[in-house]
Structure 1
Amino acid sequence: MILPLLFLVLTIFLSSQVLHASSSIFVSQSSTYAQAQPPGIQEVRIGHHQNLNKRILIALIACSALLGGVFLFLSYVWFRGQKNLRCSSSKSQETIEAAKGDTLSSVNAKLNYSRMADKKSSVAIFDYQLLEAATNSFCTSNIVGESGSRIIYRARFDENLQVAVKKAESDADSEFENEVSWLSKMRHQNIVKLLGYCIHGESRFLVYELMENGSLETQLHGPDHGSSLTWYLRLRIAIDVARALEFLHEHSNPPVVHRDLKSSNVLLDSNFNAKLSDFGFAMVSGMQHKNMKMSGTLGYVAPEYISYGKLTDKSDVYAFGVVLLELLTGRKPMENMSSHQYQSLVSWAMPQLTDRTKLPSILDPVIRDTMDLKHLYQVAAVAVLCVQAEPSYRPLITDVLHSLIPLVPVEFGGSLRVTEPIISRNSH
């Protein structure tokens, strides 16, 4: 604004100076001629000077108009520049604010969000370079677990944020897509939270919340052999898994069968709260496919699924019964008897679970003699019902949950949400 004003002042000043100088010259010349010439000639000279004054005045007016046009043009250019500057500043400010929001953590700076096909939820897409940096180039020292051929890494983004990164099998795109699809829509306290995924060439990565105590399989069958798992902690873990299955079977719309429940897919946080993971084989309950790929792990798979390919929510109940037996006995679902012979935990435990005199002797030594025997008999009864060969004899997972909840006192993390244990033999 200062430049146009200076230009205007300069124009007015120059115009006034020209007019003043012209007037002085004309007056001086007129006086000189008046003194030197006779009267007749003076009148001619004066008329001549009057015409000259008119021409100069016209020239000044034209000059002023031209200068005014230049002034208006410069003013337009200046105002246009100011507008662009304000617009640019506004965009820059928005960019800065967006950058501030994105840099609330080192992760958010690298996240993009992609809508799922059903438009109901969004899932984060992680840059491969970010995961590579957070896992120190997927260093073996950052491996926190393995599930089959899938390796799970700890990824550290900053001091306050760590996650788990699971590298999926390269030839299992359908399972990868299935897991992303299911977990992006599920929100439950006992189902692991999917934070996002990454696709890099042929590699597939799933990013979860970090579960500090790893898997139930590692806790039971790893170096510690269940030493951190007290009787009440084991019951709490069983209850958490039952709650996750109840959500899938009873409250999810449509109902879902997990199809791959096992101790390695039960993850434990820093307080040993359990969350169900790995939904690569999950499917809508009741749906049967002619070319459906068999899923599950030997020792957890229900007999009817192996024999006839029949899949219902009762298949998950059977797998839950096996996990419950692992918690009770500390044994693996399949024990190697010889180089070519294995024995299932179910076939080994069933005869002793129904004999109260033998039951205490098959318990994991870590928890032996640490519980009320009445509670032990009740938990054993639940396990027996869950692993029945006939699906219709197995209880609903809701009934299992209601039977276990009262066994954990509030002071040990229990929640008395029901007052009477009930086991139902009704088919679903």
Structure 2
Amino acid sequence: MQSSPGCPAPLLPVLSAELARLEAQLGQTADRWARAHLAELGDAAAARVLRVVAETGTRVRSLSAFINHLAKQEAMQRNAAGIPTAESAACCNGPSARASQEDSISGPFYQDVVQMEVQNQGPNGEMAFARPNHARMEPGSPVRQMPFRYMELNILERIVNESEEPSPLDFALLQSITENFAEKKEIGSGGCGTVYKGILRNGVVAVKRLHNTRTIKDKMFHREVKSLFSVKHPNIVRFLGYCSFTKEHAIPLGGRIIMADIRERLLCFEYIRNGSLDQHLSDELRGLEWQTRYQIIIGICRGLHYLHKDKEIIHMDLKPGNILLDDLMVPKITDFGLSRPESDSLATTTRLISQGYTAPEYISGGKATSKSDIYSLGVIIIELVIGSRTKPNITKAIRRWNHRWIKSMKQSSLACQQVKKCLELALRCIQDDPTDRPDISDIIDELKEIDTTDGQAQIQISSCCLEDILGIEPLEIRIPFEDFKISHSIELTNDTDDYIAFVTKAKLERFCTEPDRGIVPPRSKCSVTLAMQAQVNAQPNVHYTEVITVLSTRVDGALSVDAMDVTSGEIFVDKEGKVVDEVDVMVVFGTPQLAEE
């Protein structure tokens, strides 16, 4: 076959022969060495040897992919030069052409790789690393690094496509796809590390760089990696690979040079676009619909069941920030920063506390079991149902959800029962005594039972739960700085056959309401005017949020507004047979800062 100018054809036979030689040598060497020495080693050493062999095999497969890339380049160059061959026809007229285009290096990150290929071409178009130029082949030279980096990139992209299992990753690759861990690529941070967005040709990954200022023992890091390698479940974030890298730095200290080891530890995961659960939490009257929240609760429980029962792993830091939501709002548990096997459930001196979610026995004594995760799960369920971590009033929660369903014409007795069951389970999960908390299998069984006819019959909903409450619109008011002197209004709607009394309270008292109390007759409306207090000094580019709380309850129609003793609090106190509803209206003043993408 004739070579055309600009084609690296002479390189391909050399690389193909080298690939075949490496494959054969790898198999023969591993086989001979295993027979001679494997029996002499312990399990740990044998595992390390086999891992090295597997990694070498991965490099060989990467070389094969690199040769295929060069072959496609050659075919396209031959076609451009007007040499009609079967290879060029196949490359330029069919699926192979499309595959070649898809495999082409593009995007800002890959420009340096493309530039390297152009700069390192010889006068006849051959690649410089194919020529016997020893200066170009020095260790650390860009020409030596480029093929290796390209092969590493291929490995990661195949892992993303699920055509290859997770594996060790090169630090330089992770550094490159995050643009040297640029601040603009940062998508989150926590007690253990910072997460960056990494850009590939076939998608996006999340790279977690563990803080090197925080001492993370080898045992803890290896335990985390081991846990990540072993898990695979629809409700667990998919692990792609890891990097453990140490470099020496010369640091001047007191007239001397100290050689310090800088340790880098990184974990690579699939990228989940909808962010973490804590970005989607709100009360019953706004935000996610109930069925979305309920499916999130089910998904979290399934993921935790997999960890506890299938893998015997305790998460130890379960919270909304460690639960990600994909494009379909499917929850995926992540960040096993302190995860450990259930068999290791002993007291530990290394503790990372997430306030509000961590079990009391872990806070006080460092003792963690699977029931510690159950406590965290209970808090998360409460927050998903009512939007806060406060101990829930089940009756009020159902009333508020029912009001939302009435407005949207989606009222459902099954949904009411699901809300009640979730809160009842959550209250059992947050018991101080771990033995009083349910097992994750019991939680899933009870949730499944709700969806059966028999299970629904067992849950009784009191009539007061199904009473409608005072409607309030809007639930959020945004006031630009230019409009701070303009008054705004809140509309209260009574769609019931009863009289409903109300009172408004501003928590920070930046705004005043008129009237601040009243009685709304049956089937009628009342408008409340909202204005900024005269003494408040509004400033441009200042952003703050005020919460106006509206308390409401049913009253006797004979009661007058003047007779309402608001100061004593008698009217707006929960009593037997009387429920006081609370609704928060969010007033956002000024233009909030835009969050970086």
TM-score normalized with structure 1 length: 0.60
Match of 1:90 among 17, 20, 24: 17
The residue number in structure 1 matching 2:445 is 402
Pair 218,381 (structure 1): closer, same or farther in 2 beyond 3 Å: same
**What letter matches 1:169 in structure 2?**
H
Match of 1:251 among 302, 310, 316: 310
Is the counterpart of residue 280 in structure 1 residue 244 in structure 2?
no
| Secondary structure, aligned partner of 1:220 | coil
Match of 2:63 among 93, 99, 114: 99
Whole-Å separation in 2 of the counterparts to 1:323 and 1:152: 23
Whole-Å separation in 2 of the counterparts to 1:366 and 1:149: 40
Pair 406,134 (structure 1): closer, same or farther in 2 beyond 3 Å: farther
| Secondary structure, aligned partner of 1:298 | coil
CA contact (8 A) 1:167 1:205 kept: yes
CA contact (8 A) 1:226 1:330 kept: no
Q: Please state how far the C-alpha of 1:226 moved relative to its aligned partner.
A: 11
CA contact (8 A) 1:124 1:197 kept: yes
Whole-Å separation in 2 of the counterparts to 1:131 and 1:180: 17
Q: Please state how far the C-alpha of 1:94 moved relative to its aligned partner.
A: 6.9
| Secondary structure, aligned partner of 1:306 | helix
Whole-Å separation in 1 of the counterparts to 2:332 and 2:450: 20
Deviations 1:329-353 (A, max 9, x none): 222xxxxxxxxxxxxx2xx324x23
The residue number in structure 1 matching 2:280 is 219
**What letter matches 1:260 in structure 2?**
D
Out of 233-242 and 96-105, give the one that drifted further.
96-105
Whole-Å separation in 1 of the counterparts to 2:267 and 2:329: 22
Q: Which runs of 5+ in 2 are unaligned?
A: 1-12, 23-59, 70-98, 106-148, 157-163, 246-261, 459-597
Pair 147,227 (structure 1): closer, same or farther in 2 beyond 3 Å: farther
Whole-Å separation in 2 of the counterparts to 1:100 and 1:89: 8
Match of 1:179 among 200, 224, 230: 224
CA contact (8 A) 1:194 1:207 kept: yes
Q: Please state how far the C-alpha of 1:141 moved relative to its aligned partner.
A: 2.5
The residue number in structure 2 matching 1:349 is 391
The residue number in structure 2 matching 1:321 is 378
Q: Please state how far the C-alpha of 1:257 moved relative to its aligned partner.
A: 1.3
- 1:75-154 alignment runs, 5 A limit: 90-91=17-18, 99-101=63-65, 109-110=151-152, 123-148=166-191, 150-154=193-197
- 1:167-316 alignment runs, 5 A limit: 167-170=209-212, 171-174=214-217, 175-200=220-245, 201-220=262-281, 229-252=288-311, 255-289=312-346, 291-316=348-373
**What letter matches 1:191 in structure 2?**
I
Pair 362,169 (structure 1): closer, same or farther in 2 beyond 3 Å: farther
Q: Please state how far the C-alpha of 1:283 moved relative to its aligned partner.
A: 1.4
Identity of aligned residues (%): 29
Q: Please state how far the C-alpha of 1:147 moved relative to its aligned partner.
A: 2.7
Whole-Å separation in 2 of the counterparts to 1:282 and 1:368: 43
**Aligned residues between the structures:** 299
Out of 231-240 and 196-205, give the one that drifted further.
196-205
Q: Please state how far the C-alpha of 1:281 moved relative to its aligned partner.
A: 0.9
Whole-Å separation in 2 of the counterparts to 1:190 and 1:163: 17
Q: Which runs of 5+ in 1 are unaligned?
A: 1-85, 114-120, 332-344, 409-415, 424-428
Q: Please state how far the C-alpha of 1:183 moved relative to its aligned partner.
A: 0.4
The residue number in structure 1 matching 2:420 is 377
User: Which protein has the bigger strand share?
Assistant: 2
Whole-Å separation in 2 of the counterparts to 1:296 and 1:387: 16
CA contact (8 A) 2:191 2:352 kept: no
- 1:3-82 alignment runs, 5 A limit: none
Deviations 1:82-112 (A, max 9, x none): xxxx998633667898534256968872167
CA contact (8 A) 2:325 2:331 kept: yes
Whole-Å separation in 1 of the counterparts to 2:199 and 2:284: 28
Whole-Å separation in 2 of the counterparts to 1:101 and 1:394: 53
Whole-Å separation in 1 of the counterparts to 2:379 and 2:348: 27
Deviations 1:171-216 (A, max 9, x none): 2433433221210111222111111122344232210011111111
CA contact (8 A) 2:194 2:209 kept: yes
| Secondary structure, aligned partner of 2:208 | strand
CA contact (8 A) 1:184 1:194 kept: yes
**What letter matches 2:231 in structure 1?**
M
Q: Please state how far the C-alpha of 1:122 moved relative to its aligned partner.
A: 7.0
Cα-Cα RMSD: 3.8
Whole-Å separation in 2 of the counterparts to 1:226 and 1:217: 17
Deviations 1:221-262 (A, max 9, x none): 7xx99966321111111111111111122222xx22111111
Pair 405,226 (structure 1): closer, same or farther in 2 beyond 3 Å: farther
CA contact (8 A) 1:261 1:296 kept: no
Whole-Å separation in 1 of the counterparts to 2:402 and 2:172: 45
Pair 243,419 (structure 1): closer, same or farther in 2 beyond 3 Å: farther
User: Which protein has the bigger helix share?
Assistant: 1
